[in-house]
């Protein structure tokens, strides 16, 4: 789900992700993120969440890999 105030770059893959008030640059992959807010995600970053239902905020650079855990 793409919420308000979101910019999504080319070739992004959002699978089971809910995003609001964020900037996702080119080639971002996001899996199973229930509530990503107020974030900036660099090019070709790979994001996932393990059993995490709380809203999360990330600022990650290009080619980063981040897994959020409770």
12-51 pLDDT, tens digit per residue, is 999 989 999 999 999 999 998 888 999 999 999 999 887 7
Q: Residue 53: pLDDT above 70?
A: no
Domain boundaries, the chain: 7-68
Q: Considering the entire predicted model, what is its pTM? A: 0.88
CA atoms of 33 and 47, how far apart (whole Å): 8
pLDDT of residue 52: 62
Is 49 within 8 Å of 34 (Cβ atoms)? Answer: yes
CA atoms of 68 and 62, how far apart (whole Å): 17
Q: Residue 62: pLDDT above 80?
A: yes
SS3 1: coil
């Amino acid at each position: 789900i793409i919420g308000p105030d979101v910019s999504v770059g080319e070739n992004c893959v959002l699978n089971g992700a809910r995003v609001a008030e964020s900037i996702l640059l080119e080639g971002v992959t996001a899996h199973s993120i229930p509530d990503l807010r107020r974030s900036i995600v660099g090019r070709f970053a790979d994001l996932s969440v393990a059993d995490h239902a709380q809203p999360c905020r990330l600022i990650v650079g290009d080619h980063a890999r981040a897994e959020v855990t409770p």
